[in-house]
Amino acid sequence: MNNSKYDLEERLIDFAVMIADIIEALPNTRLGNYIAGQLVRSGCSPALNYGEAQSAESRNDFIHKMKIILKELRESMVSLKIIKRRDIHNLDNTETAINECNQLIAIFVKSIETAKKNNLKQQ
């Protein structure tokens, strides 16, 4: 199946799994537990919200859901940078997650821009 929706959904699921692996390896410290709690929500949310976006009731609803995904990805990025700077996890795995998060952010920024342009054309 070479469908871009499928590929993006799969990438978001893979990202959530990558985040889960990082979370599970964080130390049982105040910082580790706090970051894990934040990251489990923001890192897994994009995949789940993408499923919702596919069933959006309108183009405006679709754009809104895509913006939520983008916000969650940006929050995940900050958590990953904190993990990297504090060196509280395997840096290769964290760096891979940061790179993927950057790519996903770029995809969603562009997707939102395109959806907004298409929305204006229809009005």
| Cα Rg, the chain, nearest whole Å | 15
The predicted structure's pLDDT at residue 120: 80
Mind listing the pLDDT tens digit for each residue in 66-121?
Answer: 999 999 999 999 999 999 998 876 678 999 999 999 999 999 999 999 999 987 87
Residue 123 pLDDT greater than 90, yes or no = no
The crossing angle, in degrees rounded to 10, of helices 59-86 and 4-25 is: 30
Q: Whose CA is closest to 25, among 75, 33, 101? A: 33
Contact 35, 78 (CB under 8 A): no
Tell me how far apart the alpha carbons of residues 26 and 47 are, in angstroms, rounded to a whole number.
22
The predicted structure's pLDDT at residue 1: 41
Residue 5 pLDDT greater than 70, yes or no = no
The predicted structure's pLDDT at residue 100: 97
Contact 75, 14 (CB under 8 A): no
Please give the average per-residue pLDDT across 10-27, as a whole number.
95
Tell me how far apart the alpha carbons of residues 13 and 51 are, in angstroms, rounded to a whole number.
10
Residue 3 pLDDT greater than 60, yes or no = no
Structural domains in the chain? 4-122 (1.20.1440.60)
CB within 8 Å of 105: residues ≥ 6 apart: 70, 73, 74, 77
The predicted structure's pLDDT at residue 6: 59
The predicted structure's pLDDT at residue 121: 78
Can you give the pTM of this predicted structure?
0.90
The predicted structure's pLDDT at residue 118: 86
Q: What percent of the chain has pLDDT over 70?
A: 93
